[in-house]
Amino acid sequence: MAPRANRSWRLVQGLFPVVREVIVREAGVENFAPIESIDISDFATSERHAVDRGKWECKFRRLVTHSIKFKTTPSQASLDIGGVFKLGLETTTFNQPQNGAIAADGTITSWPPLADGNYSVLLWDGASTSITETTMSVQGGATNFSNSVFCINSGSTNVQTYKTQSLSFDEDGNIEVEAIHFPTNSNDESLIVDGFDNDSNWILEGLIN
């Protein structure tokens, strides 16, 4: 559930500053959604500052879904702290429902039936303790394997944008990168600040009239 953001800020009036609060939520978020309170009155001296910080937190919590960690060699790492980069991820899924059995003569029993072609599969012969990842060729409902069961691999490639949080060297001299998901649109513009100035996207409570 997307949160509400409660931000405390400092209103300077004469000699005695007053701490005010403003609650920010995206349009469509219920008024009983979880609320996250942060006092930024030490440095926020305008209502606009507090509202913008609340907007950022609301969209950040909703859109930033995960973080990643990986290693690379120094010659391949043109990264800076706070820098944004794209990373292609290939996901491999062995689809449990899409499976079947192979008879002694190579006849395949599966649903739906497999069309002719090559399939990446996990194959088990029913006797060994290991499972083999291999390519199964299907021709006329049969294959060259026998007395086995299998499930078919389905893969996808997805390119996402990340923001570098930390860089460090490991004991082997490689660079360890930690980054957070930083969603962008097709023009490589941040989705977190998209719609900031559109009043219809926001519900604000506690504003000074």
Total domains in the chain come to 2
Residues 138-184: tens digit of each pLDDT: 999 999 999 999 988 877 778 899 999 999 998 888 999 999 999 99
92 in the same domain as 16: no
Range of the domain at 141: 67-182
Question: Does residue 97 share a domain with residue 17?
Answer: no
H or E segment and range at residue 47: helix 47-63
Answer yes or no: do 102 and 171 share one domain.
yes
pLDDT of residue 60: 93
Do 109 and 199 belong together in one domain?
Answer: no
Residue 94 has pLDDT above 80, yes or no: no
Q: How many residues does the chain have?
A: 209
Local structure of 9: helix, strand or coil? strand
Task: Indicate if 98 and 24 belong to the same structural domain.
Answer: no
Asked whether the whole model's pTM tops 0.95, one would answer: no
Q: Is the dihedral of CA 112, 114, 115, 117 positive or negative?
A: positive
CA 24 remoteness from chain centre? 24
- Identify the three-state secondary structure at position 59: helix
